[in-house]
Structure 1
């Protein structure tokens, strides 16, 4: 809906000197939080969005996976501007899904991580997952590994085989296993809904895809936000500035910065859960 306006007002395409400028029409967003792909054909993008809006306006209703309590103002604006009979917000929709479906995907990892969490103290574990698409460069992966190792916090880290760009598989630094033995677990996959709902989990380091964001809020788990693309920057801005349930870890990933961020996450977690 806002894409044409963002171009007309000069917010898009983004300019380096204006990245932190507020988008007055869409608070609390800044220019850097807007979705924009410099690799896309902008004319094709505008045509695609125009066709999508035409389809919405010709529909009988719109169902959005959100909650009125989170986005009341945004939903009201959508209802005011769209010419359709109904706009429904029945979320969070993940609460309607079957846990058995998720747990059947990788039963070994499912049992492994849930049984390990069962042995941990309440709100003691940091759950780390950057989603199914996001990846780290080798140096970022190294800093994350040592940041977790030196933090002293228990953690459950999901590391996909393709988590590190340019490598066939993640290579953990020498000494990492010994440094985290007894308090850190690395797995290929996790039943995220069950993990976030577990009493042992006290924080979530996430890429802030919408599903992950909504799942974390639903379970009262504070977030350390590390967005990379698409809607993740917008979600992060709302998490930090509107809902107050997390904060963004900006700039280069460094182990000292990570260790400090984990301490902040735990303070928020004790207050929130």
Structure 2
């Protein structure tokens, strides 16, 4: 933790001691690099579009806790369409534990992790230089520049 930072000062008294060596709290981290690390087994996210895309591109399943805007629609796609995450319905201690276990330990999580890797591979295919996404984007750029 960075002592003296305003955001650290807002944490409850005793929080640092209760976390101890079990975690590291930082104000900002390079999210894409963190998600790319082999030890990351899941991503607790608000499901903003950038976070969703970064997680998909790294093949990391998501624990979804949306708050507003497009986050609810993204969560629905993640959990019900692509089936690469689970939604955290409320923040009660027992429910948080159950939801994390669904994602990380239970048989359901095995399928979620496999689908996340499959979607990563599909995304990589479409995003490569000759992929349809890159081709469409290049066509759009050409059109804009020609106007």
Q: So what's the TM-score if we normalise by structure 1?
A: 0.36
Please point out which of 34, 45, 63 is paired with 1:206: 45
Gap regions ≥5 residues in structure 2? 118-147
Distance 1:225 1:271, change over 3 A: closer
Where do 1:239-254 residues align within 5 Å? 239-251=78-90, 253-254=91-92
The answer to whether the aligner puts 1:265 opposite 2:103 as a matched pair is yes
Structure with the largest fraction of helix: 2
- In the alignment of these two chains, the number of paired residues is 107
Tell me, in whole angstroms, the C-alpha distance in 1 between the residues paired with 2:84 and 2:59: 8
Distance 1:214 1:257, change over 3 A: same
Aligned-residue CA RMSD in angstroms?
Answer: 2.4
Quick check: which has more Rg, 1 or 2? 1
Please point out which of 229, 239, 242 is paired with 2:68: 229
Tell me, in whole angstroms, the C-alpha distance in 2 between the residues paired with 1:241 and 1:173: 39
Distance 1:221 1:182, change over 3 A: same
Structure with the largest fraction of strand: 1
Distance 1:182 1:204, change over 3 A: same
Tell me, in whole angstroms, the C-alpha distance in 2 between the residues paired with 1:220 and 1:172: 34
Contact 2:60–2:113 (8 Å) recurs in 1: no
Q: So what's the TM-score if we normalise by structure 2?
A: 0.64
1:61 corresponds to which residue?
none
Shift of 1:169: 4.5
Tell me, in whole angstroms, the C-alpha distance in 2 between the residues paired with 1:271 and 1:228: 24
Where do 1:8-47 residues align within 5 Å? none
Distance 1:169 1:262, change over 3 A: same
1:256 corresponds to which residue?
94
1:60-113 Cα offsets, whole Å, 9 max, x none, are: xxxxxxxxxxxxxxxxxxxxxxxxxxxxxxxxxxxxxxxxxxxxxxxxx9xxxx
Gap regions ≥5 residues in structure 1? 1-108, 110-159, 162-167
Shift of 1:181: 2.3
Contact 2:44–2:64 (8 Å) recurs in 1: yes
Shift of 1:173: 4.9
